[in-house]
Structure 1
Amino acid sequence: MLEKIMAAIVTWIIGVISTMGYGGVVLLMAIESACIPLPSEIIMPFAGFLVSRGELTLWGIALAGAIGCVLGSIPAYYLGMYGGRPLVEKYGKYVLISKKDLDMADRWFASYGEIIIFIARLLPAVRTFIAFPAGVARMNITRFIAYTFAGSLIWCWVLGYIGMKTGEHWEDLKVYFHESHYVIAALGVVFLAWYVRRHFKNEQS
């Protein structure tokens, strides 16, 4: 049942980007950065695949992704600022954010300061909830946006590049896979399964 739900989510992600192009990338990456578990590891590589087909450009999807990350991170930032950690702990479980995740983000922010906002945007999983401790700490919003945009731009470009290169060599890969969508969907299901299991493991520890 869980695998079917995750497969449906991945199929929806692919459909949104195919239909909306850059706007779809902005929308999906905004949702991901608002702490809703839509994997950028699927969003951006599929957008990169469309780059290989000439439908989008690499820098275009990277910019769209980074803009989406900023738009999605701002509500999370203000939630941390005005709601504080108790509010995040209370409702975070509904978007698969565990107390252990928040503890890690708090430790990183305390240890490395504001630059961790940039660094965390280059890391899977933690990138989606690093905005909360920044808001709790009332980090300067201008610096928060700048670090978020810069780190996200690099992350989105790299993932988009991987998708683009995969698309460029698709003829060689056809020997092993029938449809590109199936490959991306399979990777998405694997990632989402890991993310969900990681969340429940953290909740129990």
Structure 2
Amino acid sequence: MVESLINAVIFVLDKLGYVGIFAGMALESACIPIPSEAILPFGGYLSFTGRLNLIAMILIGTIGGTAGSIGAYYLGKLGGRPLVEKYADKLRISKSKIEKSDEYFNKYGEKIVFFSRLLPIIRTFISLPAGISKMEFKKFTIYTFLGSLIWSILLGYVGYKMGENWIMIRSWFHMADIAVVVCIIGFIIYKLVAKRKNINVEN
């Protein structure tokens, strides 16, 4: 199923270029299960061949991701939890993934909107709890754009540097996700330990 979806994404991007990059990233960020891990590296490969400009591809992918996230944000803000669940049911989106995004947002606050762009699963769904909680729109947009930009640069540049071998990236997707999660968890633990030390020093 995933392999067929990735092949379909590649076919569309090959035909539509920049428009396909924008649409694909917008749909993924609007909670439609289209893998950015296929969109951006293939866009990088197309830049390698000279069909696209790498910088333009990265910016268009970032803008598309931000636009899709804004759509999901307003779904949560205007419709609240009932509409989000109805939307999930109609598109057969796993409620467990949305609940996981809720958990992260409630636990780590608004900054998770930025960091989540580098995390598996919740990067697609974090906009929903942000909207439900009525997070400030300007802050949401800035965090989303910056997080999406880093993600687009990473995957787009890797696809560009690997050229025709970009296809190998597909076997690294899950390992890369795990590595990022480990790094984020390590950073959070570090911050918590440092905060406790500061409290102990003050006391």
Which among 122, 137, 141 is matched to residue 141 of structure 1? 137
Q: Name 1:165's counterpart in structure 2.
A: 161
Which among 65, 68, 71 is matched to residue 69 of structure 1? 65
How far 1:103 moved relative to its partner?
2.3
Q: Distance in 2 between matches of 1:94 and 1:7?
A: 23
Q: Distance in 2 between matches of 1:99 and 1:7?
A: 23
Tell me if the contact between 2:97 and 2:121 (Cα under 8 Å) persists in the aligned partners: no
- 1:187 aligned onto 2:170: yes
Which among 16, 24, 36 is matched to residue 20 of structure 1? 16
Q: Name 1:202's counterpart in structure 2.
A: none
Paired letter, 1:107: E
**Gap runs ≥5 in structure 2:** 175-203
Tell me if the contact between 2:45 and 2:159 (Cα under 8 Å) persists in the aligned partners: yes
Identical counterparts, % of pairs:
47
- 1:152 aligned onto 2:148: yes
Map Cα deviations across residues 169-203 of structure 1 (whole Å, 9 max, x no partner): x4xx6xxxxxx7xx47x939x97xxxxxxxxxxxx
Superposition map of 1:109-148 within 5 A: 109-148=105-144
Paired letter, 2:57: I
Q: Distance in 2 between matches of 1:125 and 1:107?
A: 13
Q: Name 2:194's counterpart in structure 1.
A: none
The size of the alignment, in residue pairs, is 173
Which among 99, 102, 113 is matched to residue 103 of structure 1? 99
Residues 72 and 166 from structure 1, CA distance in 2 versus in 1: closer, same or farther, beyond 3 angstroms?
same
How far 1:96 moved relative to its partner?
4.7
Map Cα deviations across residues 129-166 of structure 1 (whole Å, 9 max, x no partner): 10000000101111111111100011011011111122
Q: Name 2:181's counterpart in structure 1.
A: none
Residues 115 and 99 from structure 1, CA distance in 2 versus in 1: closer, same or farther, beyond 3 angstroms?
same
Paired letter, 1:34: A
TM-score by length of 2: 0.76
SS in 2 for 1:121: helix
Please provide the CA RMSD for this pair.
Answer: 2.2
**Gap runs ≥5 in structure 1:** 174-179, 192-205
Q: Name 1:32's counterpart in structure 2.
A: 28
Paired letter, 1:145: T
Based on CA coordinates, which of the two structures has the bigger radius of gyration? 2
Map Cα deviations across residues 38-93 of structure 1 (whole Å, 9 max, x no partner): 00000001001111112222221111111001111112111111221232223314
How far 1:37 moved relative to its partner?
0.3
